[in-house]
Amino acid sequence: MAINGKTYWFKKMKKISWSNHAISLLVSLVFIPLAVLGQVGGNYIGNFIVWFNDYVAFWNFPSFFKIITSSFISGVIAGFFSAFIILKIYKKVIVNTATILPAALIIFAILGDLSFVIKNGLDLDTLGHFIRNGLTIYIYYSTLKGLKDIR
């Protein structure tokens, strides 16, 4: 919109719906139990795949690949499951607002893992935690953004 021949940026802005932001933030609280369920379920699925490869397919994985595979599958399932259910709960979710609390939770989890590494050194289980937590928030954000763009 032009006033006296000049275009002002504040005239082009959309009106902010604070209620959508508040609801998106509240809905993101559901991420905590959903991520826990997704990580536990993904861990079982990952361990089943590792067991299947070890005892049925006779492709014995080294222990490094067992932990990495299980953590990778757990993080992917937790992120996708959380984003999918949150979009089913509230279809008008604002992606950046709905990522604030989950990102803070994952940052605190990673800081806890870092303090463990400083005290005890890096082991495979802690490396698995880093992979699982990082993938959970990455897949959550990208799935939420992707599914939101489709709708």
Quick one: pLDDT at residue 10? 54
- Please state, in angstroms and rounded to a whole number, the distance separating the CA atoms of residues 25 and 106: 16
Please answer whether residues 30 and 101 qualify as being in contact, where contact means their C-beta atoms are separated by less than 8 angstroms: no
1 has pLDDT over 70: no
CA distances from 145 to 65, 86, 99, 106, 110 (A): 30, 12, 10, 18, 23
Confidence of residue 18 (pLDDT cuts 50, 70, 90): confident
Residue 63: band (very low, low, confident or very high) from pLDDT cuts 50, 70, 90: confident
| Residue 9 confidence (pLDDT) | 53
Higher pLDDT among residues 12 and 105, named by residue: 105
Residue 58 in this model has a pLDDT that exceeds 80: no
Residue 94 phi, psi (nearest 5): -95, 120
Name the least confident of 53-67, 69-83, 99-113, 130-144.
Answer: 53-67
Percent of the chain at pLDDT > 70 equals 89
Beta bridge partners of residue 7, listed in sequence order: 2
Q: How high is the mean pLDDT of the chain?
A: 88
In which band, very low, low, confident or very high, does the pLDDT at 61 lie, cut at 50, 70 and 90?
confident
pTM of the model: 0.84
Res. 4 pLDDT band, cuts 50 70 90: low
Give the SS3 label for residue 111: helix
